[in-house]
Structure 1
Amino acid sequence: MRIIFMGTPDYAEAILERIINTADMEVVAVYTQPDKPVGRKKVITPPVVKTLAQKHGIAVYQPNRLRDSETVEELLKIEVDYIVVAAYGQILPLEILQHAPCINLHASILPQYRGASPIQQTLLNGDKKTGVTAMLMDVGLDTGDILKIDEIDVSDDEMVETLFDRLTTTASELTIDILKNFNSYEPVKQDESLATHCAKISKHDGEVSFTDATELYNKYRAFTPWPAIYLESGLKLKSIKLEEKISNNENGKILLIDKDSIVVGCEKGSIRIFKIQPASKKEMDILSYINGKRLTLADTIS
């Protein structure tokens, strides 16, 4: 079968590689976002999907706007059986949706968490289960009919990077299943009454306070390593764990000093801190920090 693949980040790269390595599947074109400046030196860097496609001699297209008439006309000339989309970053126009079945792999149990940050939202909400949804795309954002959902469990201390890796593996396997058995799946409409949405993550989302320990810890799980979690002062909490969920404490008060960590009270619950990073400084262990600040029991972290 002939396939057009559309995607940009690591999640998409793994799915593309799985398709390339599957017999009887030919990726005839890859669409990905334009190269972008990366890092402090703003080095122009190609998406990982582009690098992988070029390695295998696959034609790569990087339109600024997929909706432009010339881009649409060019794509419609490519004869394909399926279009597979995974974290591409652009909305597909109707003409492309009608060109071939467009299958999207979304990292949530739709209609929950439509949008840009479903993996982070799973952790922010402390969900015990998530998954990958294969759906037929339509003109809406993650609103298409569902073909199949593969679910996985989420542990209480799972971090975004490990959950990302597990969902990527799930998505890769699900993609092959759907492509091989497409005609055996009956599309099911999403229940709009259950739909929720999640926005693109920004650096500002990482700001936390010692209000609710569970909420703080879930932000740590979702936002490490980026955008990281930090206090209003700019102090980053680099390594923490949830101590307990129910006690009532003074906001930011040091409750315990241990050999490698401290316990800090939240208005509800408490957290244990191992490492921090002051603004514009290097990461350090928490004991070095409180010693330098001459903080002790009953003092507050801010």
Structure 2
Amino acid sequence: MAPRRASRNGTATPPDPHSARRTPRPRLGRRHRSTDSTIRRMARKATHDDRTRADQRRGLLRPARPHRRPHLPRQPQGRLPRPMAQPAQRVRPRPRRRLAADRRGGRPGRPAGHLRGKAHTQAAIGQFAGRMHDDVIDALDWAITQGHTDPARVAIYGSSYGGYAALVGAAFTPGRFAAAISYTGMSDLVDLSRRVVPFARRSLVNNYVRYMGDPDDPEQEADMRARSPITRVNDITAPVLLVHGANDLRVHRSNSDRVVEALRARGAEVEYLLNEREGHWFVNPDSNIELYQTLVRFLARHLDGRITEGN
């Protein structure tokens, strides 16, 4: 403690508490730290383990849901079984398992690619509807081999890139899925690229152009069309639900309109939920209620052979 100092009038002044030097706190190594992130990971693991055991007892499988486009993924590492993501929790007219395939294309630093690295992300270059879809099918085959699901009762569902993946699943591998749901998904890669506003095109050279192709190159344009579900829409045999916002500026509504028109023209089973107020993501509560009630009824009808009461 600092000594008392004498004032000008001879009386002693109390010591300044801030003048005393404090003993520095010891630095803890990484293995000794207890951060909020560590606590959250432990809580997630406990929840995951509890739900895993409960799901294994019930022998259930949730709809397969590929995550979004390769450079903006949102889903964690693909393991089965595992808890459902927040929006997908509403798609449960009865308990199901959900398979989130950790396909190539996850960006390092984001949940789907943080353990894979740059090579895992770049393995998706030129592989739309190719090896990216093979990863989804491989994950589904694993789930079937492990006895987690009935191969005749599997649906594929996704939004944005995941909506594209759902349409690819229905069009390129029509015998693998009992139903498909595309939420603001693109069906035409050429149309997606050409609708980008001019001032933003330079920023897409390292993602859209590099991963999907350059529509201004005739050879690459032909390849992009071959990887677009709209060119193989006549191969779709499973029931399809398409969801889109009329004000979508990222994936124009024509990507869903054209699929619906082609399916209805040949009498195929298709449902279309077009919301006139929404864009690429539904943000209004009443819109989301309508969206997930529609999903619940669709899955109940085509996976369970029934319609959920009250929905």
TM-score scaled to structure 1, two decimals? 0.34
The structure richer in helix per residue is 2
Pick the structure with greater CA Rg.
2
The structure richer in strand per residue is 1
